[in-house]
Amino acid sequence: MTPDELEDLAMVGAAMPNDLSSADVFLFQCYRALHAAYRYGAITREQAKEEKQRLLKEHHELQWGNQQIQRFVKLWQDVEGAVSDYAALPSIENADKIIMKIYGTPHAPRKTDPMTRHTQKQ
């Protein structure tokens, strides 16, 4: 959901939607409190506008942080799989898989000459 959609729901006292990210839960609850404070005269319209802008900035930063966490979790899951493959069968190909997962780069298939132990790109 967009921040505007969350605000519309919070403003009318609707139930918080299911399956929101933690950043969206934070924003929804803050919108609900901000609109309540304005309705009850605890804050002015100008103050509410300023606080809304700060909330949107914080929401954006929380979303970015959550995306980075998810990205790193996936990276380490991928790396762990490649490391497990290498531990089960140490080889240049499996070592290449580890590097590929860490750096996100494709690797060229390699052929190892068993007589010279040199690796050549095909």
Domain boundaries, the chain: 3-88
Indicate the Cα dihedral angle 103, 104, 107, 112, nearest 10°: 50
- The predicted pLDDT at position 90 comes to 92
Cα(first)–Cα(last) distance of the chain, in Å?
A: 48
Q: Tens digits of per-residue pLDDT, 27-41?
A: 999 999 999 999 999
Q: Tens digits of per-residue pLDDT, 80-122?
A: 999 999 999 999 888 888 888 888 877 655 666 555 555 555 5
d(CA 122, CA 115): 17
